[in-house]
Amino acid sequence: MKTNMELIQDVIAELNWEPTVIGGVITASVNPKIDVTANDGVVTLEGEVDSFPKKWNAEQATRRVAGVTDVINNIKSNCQVLLSAPMKNRPGCGTCYPAECFFTP
């Protein structure tokens, strides 16, 4: 069984390898940022990405890692960030699928 640190390192490597996540774990703030923690095989993803597909792809990439038993995906996509903003500050992101974004400009 992998240690928590080994699991975190393997998940980070997988996320950085996955082209649809754009290596978002350890890059500058220009790119998505995803923080990874692990506890006995359960991996938690937190942070922000600029679209729902990147959130979903990050979870799928994490599930591919040997030793991961479950994934808690707390990543916020751009639409979720917009929805938590005050109404007057919602410009509409244009990166969402209609089913995932409840904001209409």
Per-residue pLDDT tens digits for 54-94: 888 999 999 999 999 999 999 987 665 445 544 444 444 44
Model pLDDT, residue 32: 55
The single-letter DSSP state of residue 10 is H
What is the DSSP-derived secondary structure letter of residue 87? G
**Domain boundaries defined on the chain:** 4-77
Q: Which CATH number fits domain 4-77: 3.40.50.720, 3.30.497.10, 3.30.1340.30, 3.40.50.970?
A: 3.30.1340.30
- How many Cα atoms occupy the beta-carbon half-sphere of 33 within 13 Å? 5
